[in-house]
Amino acid sequence: MLLKVRRLYIEAGGKPIVLLNKEDADDIGVRALGRVKIVTTEGRELTSVVNVTYRAVERGIIGVYDEVASKLKLEDGSLVDVRLSEPPRSIYFVREKLKGKKLTYPEIYEIVRDVVDGRLTEVEISAFVTALQTFGLDLDEATSLSKAMVEVGETLDLGDVFVVDKHSIGGVPGDKTSLLAVPTIAASGLTIPKTSSRAITSAAGTADRAEVFMPVNLDLEEIKSVVKKTGGCLVWGGALHLSPADDIFVQVEYPLAIDPLLLPSIMSKKKAVNAKILVIDIPTGRGTKVKTIGEANALAKDFIELGRRLGIQTSCAITYGEQPIGYAVGPALEAKEALETLMGSNKALDLLNKAANVAGALFQMAGIGDFNTALQLIRSSKSEKKLRDIIAAQGGNPDIKPEDIPIGDRTYDVKAESDGMALWIDNGRLIEVARAAGAPKDKGAGILLNKKIGDRVERGDILFTIYAESSIKLQTAIELIEERSFIGVGKSMDMLIQFVHEVPVYGRRFELER
Amino acid sequence: MLLKVRRLYIEAGGKPIVLLNKEDADDIGVRALGRVKIVTTEGRELTSVVNVTYRAVERGIIGVYDEVASKLKLEDGSLVDVRLSEPPRSIYFVREKLKGKKLTYPEIYEIVRDVVDGRLTEVEISAFVTALQTFGLDLDEATSLSKAMVEVGETLDLGDVFVVDKHSIGGVPGDKTSLLAVPTIAASGLTIPKTSSRAITSAAGTADRAEVFMPVNLDLEEIKSVVKKTGGCLVWGGALHLSPADDIFVQVEYPLAIDPLLLPSIMSKKKAVNAKILVIDIPTGRGTKVKTIGEANALAKDFIELGRRLGIQTSCAITYGEQPIGYAVGPALEAKEALETLMGSNKALDLLNKAANVAGALFQMAGIGDFNTALQLIRSSKSEKKLRDIIAAQGGNPDIKPEDIPIGDRTYDVKAESDGMALWIDNGRLIEVARAAGAPKDKGAGILLNKKIGDRVERGDILFTIYAESSIKLQTAIELIEERSFIGVGKSMDMLIQFVHEVPVYGRRFELER
């Protein structure tokens, strides 16, 4: 059917979508969310997903969203031939997965490619991800997915350089380990092109923290130049298209709070930067993604085996995750704490220990040292110097001092109401409060802990301080704390924490960050 | 955040969607497919799903689709307050189902209500339906779903009248049973307000067939009046909102070719018309939804038990489905065959038999007769008279003769190339050919079989005739037949049908119709 183009001047999130009048759609024989093949007079072709309208476009008109207009070079009034298109072959593979079948590499490749090219609808992608979640995926499928996700994405080509990498599966607030580990690893002479995510549901992502010091939104060429100069970088990976399929899958996983693609998602991005050795940090315990050491071990084995299949020598660090790392939560507070620690502060010993463990594990795999080597690089200010080199190369101020970092000037101290000991910290609630105070968007907002688990507390002691950039947000955070705090103080012989009368069923929080 | 409304004048398929500039979305803290609460200056409120754009609307502007504009009575330039909305509680229940948990009635009710109110996105609905498919749903959940789907929909209230109903799960081409069974049941004095679907992937739905005689797009008040006058009706159920949730679920099930809601979908619609006794037709065999008698029995037991829980006495007729019912496929050809059979033709004996079996089963349950009672009503022209009463009451021509029904005037005979016997009919291929010829949209298009399974065939005999309203469509249908026909003729001792060299993996067709 020959139709006249009307541009809608709306983006459809990268998906090729057109809008047809209901009558035309009926004549073509296509339903809403069905597909049509569009052919221009110049012979350009595109398969698009159909939205149907009774009034927004009349008969004879095809409304085109920006993606279709730009791919087919269409203007208002262009004529296009529109006909029913067969569903893509990949939909049959999705349906097979829905029956619990194991998929082969060519099948998975076709699904992943069609996801990236917009040929599968949200309904179909959601069904695929849900089926992966409910049936699980085995290591063969995880390998296929990792490879396919690399295949359809960009890669960082650093030539013959031996590349190493580190990654945390996340879930612990205040985890600024990369800000210390990356310069330490680079200071050893290894090459670590570290890409990170921004916070989605947390109070800060590594990219948010690094952005306090320097621009992080670099393209692949810029990254190459920084890494060649310094051996490392700390950049945002979100716009690099290292794994564009994952960027789409995560849009589905996020509302569903499921993450069946955890392994392929991480490993494909590491493969895309051509990492040869890799340490994965698995924070474990209440309030993290992995609750028990048994689970952590099983996950570690899968990472190691998947790494082997992809040619990445992988080891995993199972780390304690039941309270924040260090004392600071929120981009600027964390950046400051990281810099102070690199400059010799001994306050955040857990942070120092974790960074040295992660870097040390890579040193052992590379045969150039261990935990003590890493600690020595930090203690001798070599890590600090390397961080400043990276800051300079990425366009930040290499001479920045901790006190130069702007922190929110609206503050509120929360004090202990009784004597005892800090018994527990609720990570999820802590994140809620930090976000209410403005983190991660307000970089100076967040929480500075004064007590951590095991610390002696006397009535009137400051437990923590809330920082905000606006009074309204500070007030919102205070209200949350008045409703329920996130630090539990008690005497360890007082076994009863509280009686529960109403069960808060819907209070669960999910973290999903890559 | 206060934003100024810009109407987009596009429908979003019933869903409340707004379009935000990326920067505004970031400030509000909402991602694409997240939700915002919109409050008008008059205090009207609506939770909407967010689409994000970089250019289509500027900062400070909120683009609203028709659904939101009409619910909130918005015009261009209206000011609205837009803030982050918590996800609906039902999303937690969807997530529980993704973990394989069994859901309770209140949980299912909340999901179903939010589906209908547009508070769950396509991604979430797709995940829910996929999880129902992969984990299965037990009878408690099927009961809850049926009840919830009735609860959120319209109902047909016929007062104290004792209502009966029949339903086929579908899958057989040419199944015009309802055109005979409904007037027969009404002729017995029982009340049967029959709602049917139009074809989605088949060559004709019962509503398409009935529409050859009379208007079928009646509202609930008109249906009441027709049923009060005649004891029956034959109308399209698609716009009655008897089960609006199902209308949405099916949009997801269709592309995925899954149908986990088969039982609740059917039973909710029967409950919505307050049926007290019900016969379900389960066509069984190759080329239908149910392949074996064992499967059909299991499904029948579920229907009967679900009916018991809903207060609907249900029995199931497992029927032969490996070839079309009667000889005609396509709306007008089928309507003609049905009328001829009611007027005394003995050609389509399988059709007559099936209609009498379905009606007879209801008579037995109601204690007013059996198969023979039904046959007698048909033979004595009482069913024909009742059909004409219904046609008159619905606004059609009650004096219509079979030869008045317009049939496509472009025809093509397909002849046997060898002697033997008709051994098999490929229902799926037959439907493809009928649709290529124009059915169901061209009411006069379709196929008239001359031979059915078991019939003796001599070389040169007409196997079937293709009817079309346009030469182009006729030609397309002929090309399909030249590529591969749908009737297999052979000698029954010739055991080899054909050697297969290439396996057509992706040729499966799915039928999903309600």
- How many angstroms separate the CA atoms of A112 and A150, rounded? 10
Helix axes A293-310, A139-151, angle to 10 degrees: 50
The reply to whether B259 belongs to the active site is: yes
- How many angstroms separate the CA atoms of B232 and B229, rounded? 8
Per DSSP bridges, beta strands A163-168 and B328-329 are: unpaired
Q: Which residues of B touch A127 (CB under 8 A)?
A: 126-127, 129-130, 252, 256
Q: State the 10-residue block means of pLDDT for chain B, 514 residues long.
A: 91 82 88 87 91 86 92 94 89 94 96 91 93 93 97 95 96 96 98 93 95 97 97 94 90 87 95 96 88 89 95 94 95 98 95 95 95 96 98 98 97 95 92 95 97 93 97 95 91 62 42 46
Q: Please indicate whether, in this complex, the C-beta atoms of A255 and B51 are within 8 angstroms of each other.
A: no
Nearest CA of chain A to the CA of B23: how many Å? 12
- pLDDT band, residue A118 (cuts 50/70/90): confident
* Closest residue in chain B to residue A14, using alpha carbons only: B53
What are the tens digits of pLDDT across the range A442-461? 999 999 999 999 899 999 99
User: B interface mutation test: which of A31, A50, A98, A130 has the most B CBs within 10 A?
Assistant: A130
- pLDDT band, residue A503 (cuts 50/70/90): very low
Q: Which residues of B touch A200 (CB under 8 A)?
A: 31
Q: Please indicate whether, in this complex, the C-beta atoms of A255 and B26 are within 8 angstroms of each other.
A: no
CB atoms within 10 A of CB A140: 14
Domain borders along chain B are 2-84, 90-136, 163-402, 410-507
Nearest CA of chain B to the CA of A139: how many Å? 20
- How many angstroms separate the CA atoms of B212 and B331, rounded? 7
Q: Is the pLDDT of residue A514 over 70?
A: no
Query: Could you give phi then psi for residue B58, rounded to 5 degrees?
Result: -80, 175
Mean pLDDT (whole number) for A203-207: 96
Q: What pLDDT was estimated at residue B121?
A: 87
Nearest CA of chain B to the CA of A126: how many Å? 5
Q: Looking at domain A90-136, which CATH architecture does it have? A: Up-down Bundle (1.20)
Q: What pLDDT was estimated at residue B492?
A: 67
Q: Which residues of B touch A63 (CB under 8 A)?
A: 10
Q: Tell me which DSSP letter residue A403 carries.
A: G
Question: What fold characterizes domain B410-507?
Answer: Aldehyde Oxidoreductase; domain 3 (3.90.1170)
C-alpha torsion B96→B98→B99→B105, nearest 10: 40
Q: Dig out the tokens for A351 from the structure.
A: 């942070």
C-alpha torsion B64→B69→B74→B80, nearest 10: -50
Per DSSP bridges, beta strands A35-40 and A45-53 are: antiparallel
Q: What pLDDT was estimated at residue B514?
A: 47
| pTM reported for the whole predicted model | 0.84
Q: What pLDDT was estimated at residue A513?
A: 47
Q: Is the pLDDT of residue A268 over 70?
A: yes
Cβ–Cβ under 8 Å, residues B452 and B419: no
Q: Looking at domain A2-84, which CATH architecture does it have? A: Beta Barrel (2.40)
Of the partner residues B31, B121, B256, the one whose CB lies closest to the CB of residue A124: B256
Q: Is the pLDDT of residue A507 over 70?
A: no
Q: Which residues of A touch B238 (CB under 8 A)?
A: none
The dotted CATH code for A410-490 is: 3.90.1170.30
Degrees, nearest 5: CA angle A240-A242-A244: 95
Q: Which residues of A are catalytic, by number?
A: 259
Query: Which residue in the list B208, B259, B281, B442 is annotated as catalytic?
Result: B259
- How many angstroms separate the CA atoms of A417 and A18, rounded? 61
Q: What pLDDT was estimated at residue B501?
A: 54
Of the partner residues A11, A56, A89, the one whose CB lies closest to the CB of residue B11: A56
CB atoms within 10 A of CB A97: 25
Burial category of A80 from C-beta neighbours within 10 Å (exposed 0-12, middle 13-18, buried 19 and up): buried
Whole-Å CA distances, A266 to A248, A302, A303: 14, 12, 9
Nearest in space to A185 (alpha carbons), one of A325, A372, A360, A391 = A360
- How many angstroms separate the CA atoms of B193 and B274, rounded? 10
The dotted CATH code for A163-237+292-402 is: 3.40.1030.10
- How many angstroms separate the CA atoms of B289 and B281, rounded? 12
Cβ–Cβ under 8 Å, residues A493 and A462: no
Identify residue A144 by its one-letter amino acid code: S
Cα torsion angle, B301, B304, B307, B308, sign: negative
Strand partners, A40: A80
Whole-Å CA distances, A440 to A235, B7, B129, B440: 16, 32, 35, 56
CA B143, chain centre distance (Å)? 20
Q: Please indicate whether, in this complex, the C-beta atoms of B56 and A100 are within 8 angstroms of each other.
A: no
Cα torsion angle, B12, B18, B23, B29, sign: negative
- How many angstroms separate the CA atoms of A69 and B168, rounded? 44
* Closest residue in chain A to residue B9, using alpha carbons only: A56
- How many angstroms separate the CA atoms of B13 and A78, rounded? 26
Name the least confident of A29-43, A182-196, A477-491, A492-506.
A492-506
Q: What pLDDT was estimated at residue A191?
A: 98
Q: Which residues of B touch A126 (CB under 8 A)?
A: 122-124, 126-127, 130
Degrees, nearest 5: CA angle A103-A108-A113: 165
**Strand residues in B229-385 grouped as ranges (E):** 232-236, 275-284, 313-320, 328-329
User: B interface mutation test: which of A85, A126, A135, A198 has the most B CBs within 10 A?
Assistant: A126
Cβ–Cβ under 8 Å, residues B108 and B93: yes
Question: What fold characterizes domain B163-402?
Answer: Pyrimidine Nucleoside Phosphorylase; Chain A, domain 2 (3.40.1030)
Q: What is the DSSP string of A129-161?
A: HHHHHHH---HHHHHHHHHHHHHTS-----TT-
Q: Tell me which DSSP letter residue B404 carries.
A: G
Q: Which residues of A touch B55 (CB under 8 A)?
A: 9, 11, 66
Domain B163-402 and domain B410-507, same fold? Reply is: no
Cβ–Cβ under 8 Å, residues B329 and B338: no
The set of residues, in sequence order, having a beta carbon less than 8 Å from that of B487 and lying 6+ positions away, is B422, B424, B425, B426, B449, B451, B463, B464
